[in-house]
Amino acid sequence: MVSFDRVAIIGLGLIGSSLTRAITDKGQASSVFGFDGSEAVRAEARDIKGFGAEITDTLEEAVSNADLVIMAVPVGAVGALAEELCPYLKEGAILSDVGSVKKSIIDAVLPHLPETCYFVPGHPVAGTEYSGPKAGFSTLFEGRWCILTPLPNTPRSEVEKVSNLWAGLGSDVEEMDAEHHDIVLAITSHIPHLIAYNIVGTAADLEEVTSSEVIKYSAGGFRDFTRIAASDPVMWRDVFMNNKDAVLEMLGRFTEDLTQLQRHIRRGDAKALEDLFTRTREIRRSIVEAGQETEKPDFGR
């Protein structure tokens, strides 16, 4: 069932190119247009069979007359993009996004939003470690959460149109305050990524252990971290630049807890360690039960 008549996706990386495919495959719009600032990306997208969107040559062509425009560019680029596209938005159009941080995006977009248009910020909690227009696929959002952080003044009817679109792509939709979103994501996503990046970097710098040894014996736990650490560098750079307060708060807590663990190890406190490890096993079980994870051993690899 069509949620919108005409949709425009701006930014054709992993998320943008999954949106074009998903919206088209699941019949959520009558027409889908796509644009990317890079000519090379536009050319690549045009060559992909079943990409799900007509690729325009200019931003204006994509945005004009669109009922919904979704910005799917790195978080740090959203403000400049909003400034450029807002003059082309038709009256009553809904602008949305998919960024992993919400408060800083809202602050960057609102100054440019025309009075007659609406901004419904969104964040699909989904992705893989791959990038680019070929990386997208239409089932990426199925069974995943999409968090919307609507602004207080936005009419419910407009929020629900966006909500219905995401439901049509297979997601469960949740709404929350933008600041709360940024804290939740700091711990469930941003800090895990930071930690993964850090450990891969630490391993790469060792003198006594060669990087080929690290790579060879990575099945011992390290390789799980490296998947996250292979995520798009620009996207993640922008996330940390734009969710600084929440990230630093969570990092502080993480480090306090780690110091305590270090202490247990130095002092040989076996019981304290076993207690923590038993507790964390239960949390894992809860995630499998909540349907957010496979129970296949080793992720089914």
User: Could you say which residues in the range 101-160 bind a copy of itself, by CB under 8 A?
Assistant: 125-130, 135, 144-145, 147
Nearest residue (CB) to a copy of itself, 1 versus 283: 283
To the nearest whole angstrom, how small is the minimum distance from the Cβ of residue 297 to a copy of itself?
4
Q: Which of 43, 80, 110, 258 binds a copy of itself (CB under 8 A)?
A: 258
Q: Which of residues 157-216 bind a copy of itself (CB under 8 A)?
A: 174, 180, 183-185, 187-206, 208-209, 211-216
CA end-to-end span of the chain, whole Å?
36
Q: Which residues contact 98 (CB under 8 A, 6 or more apart)?
A: 15, 19, 70, 71, 72, 122, 123, 124
Stretch binding a copy of itself (CB under 8 A), from 83-91, 104-112, 154-162, 217-225: 217-225
Beta sheet of 122-124, edge-to-edge order:
122-124, 145-148, 172-175
Q: Which of residues 1-20 bind a copy of itself (CB under 8 A)?
A: none
Q: Is 37 in the site for a copy of itself (CB under 8 A)?
A: no
To the nearest whole angstrom, how small is the minimum distance from the Cβ of residue 268 to a copy of itself?
6
Q: Is 225 in the site for a copy of itself (CB under 8 A)?
A: yes
Stretch binding a copy of itself (CB under 8 A), from 44-52, 62-70, 86-94, 273-281: 273-281
Place of tokens 């060669």: 210
Are 119 and 106 within 8 A, CB to CB?
A: yes
Nearest residue (CB) to a copy of itself, 46 versus 263: 263
Cα separation, 190 vs 141, in Å, equals 19
Place of tokens 């609102």: 110
Are 178 and 238 within 8 A, CB to CB?
A: no
